[in-house]
Structure 1
Amino acid sequence: MEIDAINILSIVYVIYFMLPAYIANVSALVFGGGPPLDFGYHFIDKRRLIGDGVTWRGSIIGTLLGTLTGMIQGTLVDNMLYGILLGFLLALGAVIGDACGSFVKRRFNIERGRPAPILDQLDFAVGAMLFASIIVNFSWEMIIMILIITVILHLSANIIAYLIGVKDVWY
């Protein structure tokens, strides 16, 4: 299979486009801690609404750093306001998508830190695209590329973090 310049540029574009969401997702993890987003509340099934892994501090910092990333990207193409708006939507969508993923995991009685294949890799990306779709018209090709690239990047980053001792599990 031959990879041509157009395919490589498409991959680079997808990563660049999703960068505010990727930054928000990793920043929420790195800078998390403190009070959980769900304030410790339980759902009607007696399980935590979201859990301790999604915190106010991580969510706010993730959204801010993702928005800042969008602002920098917007400045590079001389459209800072659009960059701020798109960065904010991608970042907030990523944070909320991750929280929704945690909500789903709790409903299936999956403990914090335990794997939920595909959900763990795509919850934040789907949330980011849903929020960004307010101002962006996604083609099916772009959606599929974002999902595939996100899975590959997410798993690769987690494996590297595990190998260097930053994470306790490879997923």
Structure 2
Amino acid sequence: MVVETVVVALWAMLPAYVPNNAAVLLGGGAPIDGGRTWRGRRLLGDGKTWRGTAIGTVVGVALALALNAVQPTLVALVGFGLPVFPLAVAVALAFGAMLGDILASFLKRRTGRKRGAAFPVLDQLDFVVVALLLATLVAPAWVFEVFTLPRVVVVLVATPLLHLTTNAGAYVLGLKEEPY
């Protein structure tokens, strides 16, 4: 039962977990804020780009569709149900993750933090909260069926650990300038 709870929670979050990583690896280009400032500070900064946002969203949706394709085989292997992602949910999770990161950048700039500066808790959960909110707006029945309280707890505990681990790995590989 515990294994099923963890596996289903992480499976259901995969379309939200991957977009920001894809944006870092494949993004770049023109910043969303166009260099504009508000009260003497950049709105978002150079790290939030149109191309990165689009690529992250497309990769997250593509991953959800790939998971849908392998879901029947994996269900037979693991012996318990794994959710299938309706297209609207796939888009909401992927774009919500990107939007959550964009909103966090806006808050970081408002509090005087520079690009890459740590903002504990916000850095680890911004994308999760917004992804789940958007998914709830487009498919509330799906979200409440999939994200039971125990699965939400798994997501809230596992996500910061995964976030810190993947960022440390990206730092070691030279893909990030900071290890957090």
Question: What is the TM-score of this pair, normalised by structure 1?
Answer: 0.87
Give the unaligned 5+ runs of structure 2.
73-83
State the superposition RMSD in angstroms.
1.8
Residue 122 of structure 1 and its aligned partner are, at CA, apart by 1.0
Q: State the distance in 2 between where 1:62 and 1:127 align.
A: 15
In the alignment, does 2:133 pair up with 1:130? yes
* Identity between Structure 1 and Structure 2 (%): 40
| CA contact 2:6–2:151 (8 Å) conserved in 1 | no
Alignment of 1:58-137 (within 5 A): 58-77=52-71, 82-134=85-137, 135=139, 136-137=143-144
Which deviations, in whole Å up to 9, do the C-alpha atoms of 1:48-104 show, x marking residues without a partner? 1111111000000000010111112233447xx953222111000000000000000
Q: Does 1:20 align with 2:29?
A: no
- In structure 2, the CA distance between the partners of 1:48 and 1:164, relative to structure 1 (3 Å rule), is closer
Structure number with higher relative contact order (C-alpha < 8 Å, ≥ 6 residues apart): 2
- Cα distance in 1 for partners of 2:109, 2:153 equals 27
User: How far, CA to CA, are the matches of 2:172 and 2:55 in structure 1?
Assistant: 26
* Gaps in structure 1 of 5+ consecutive residues: 1-5
TM-score of the superposition, structure 2-length normalised? 0.83
Give the corresponding residue for 1:163: 172
User: Partners in 1 of 2:87 and 2:179 — Cα distance?
Assistant: 33
Mapped to 2, the partners of 1:51 and 1:168 lie a distance apart of: 15
Q: Contact conserved, 1:25 with 1:62, CA < 8 A, in 2?
A: yes
